[in-house]
A and B are shown apart, each in its own frame.
Chain A
Amino acid sequence: MTAGQARFVAIAAAATAFALGFVWPAFQKTRVLWYYPLEHRWALEITPEGLAMDWYGRTLVAGVLAIVAYFVALALARRSKPLGQRGYTLWTAWMATAVLLAMALYAHQLATRRPVPTPLPTWYVPR
Chain B
Amino acid sequence: MAGTIFESWARVLVLLHAAAAVVLVGSSTHHFLVSLGYLRWRFKVRLGRIYAAIVVIAYGTTMLLGALAYPTYRYHVRGLYFDRHAVWASNLFDIKENFAALGLPLAIGAFLLSRVMNPKEDRAMVVGYAVMVTILTAIVWFNVVSGILITMERGV
Which A residues have a C-beta under 8 Å from some C-beta of B? 3-5, 7-8, 11-12, 14-15, 18-19, 22, 35, 37-38, 40, 51, 53, 55-56, 58-59, 62-63, 66, 83-85, 88-89, 91-92, 95-96, 99-100, 102-103, 106-107, 110-118, 120-121, 123-124, 127
Question: Contact check: which of A15, A56, A118 meets B75 at CB < 8 Å?
Answer: A118
Query: Are the CB atoms of B124 and A85 closer together than 8 Å?
Result: yes
B103: nearest chain-A partner, CB-CB: A99
Bound-state Cα–Cα, A103 to B118, Å? 30
28 A-B Cβ contacts within 8 A? A7-B113, A8-B117, A11-B109, A11-B132, A14-B105, A15-B109, A15-B132, A37-B75, A53-B74, A58-B101, A59-B104, A66-B105, A88-B128, A89-B124, A95-B131, A95-B132, A99-B102, A102-B98, A103-B139, A106-B94, A106-B95, A106-B98, A106-B99, A110-B95, A110-B98, A118-B75, A118-B83, A121-B2
B145 lies within 8 A of chain A by Cβ: no
Bound-state Cα–Cα, A18 to B117, Å? 23
Which B residues have a C-beta under 8 Å from some C-beta of A? 1-5, 67, 70-72, 74-75, 78-80, 82-84, 87, 90-91, 94-95, 97-99, 101-102, 104-106, 108-109, 112-113, 116-118, 122, 124-125, 127-128, 131-132, 135, 139, 154
Q: How many A-B residue pairs have CB under 8 A?
A: 132
Query: Are the CB atoms of B112 and A11 closer together than 8 Å?
Result: yes
Query: Are the CB atoms of A22 and B94 closer together than 8 Å?
Result: no
Q: Which residues of A are found within 8 Å of B71, using beta-carbon distances?
A: 35, 37, 53
Q: Which residues of A are found within 8 Å of B135, using beta-carbon distances?
A: 96, 99-100
Q: Which residues of B are found within 8 Å of A35, using beta-carbon distances?
A: 71
Bound-state Cα–Cα, A120 to B78, Å? 12
Query: Are the CB atoms of B101 and A116 closer together than 8 Å?
Result: no
A111: nearest chain-B partner, CB-CB: B91
Query: Are the CB atoms of A110 and B91 closer together than 8 Å?
Result: yes
Q: Across the A-B interface, give the 9 residue pairs with the lowest CB-CB distance, nearest first.
A: A118-B79, A37-B71, A11-B109, A117-B83, A92-B128, A88-B124, A106-B98, A15-B105, A115-B83
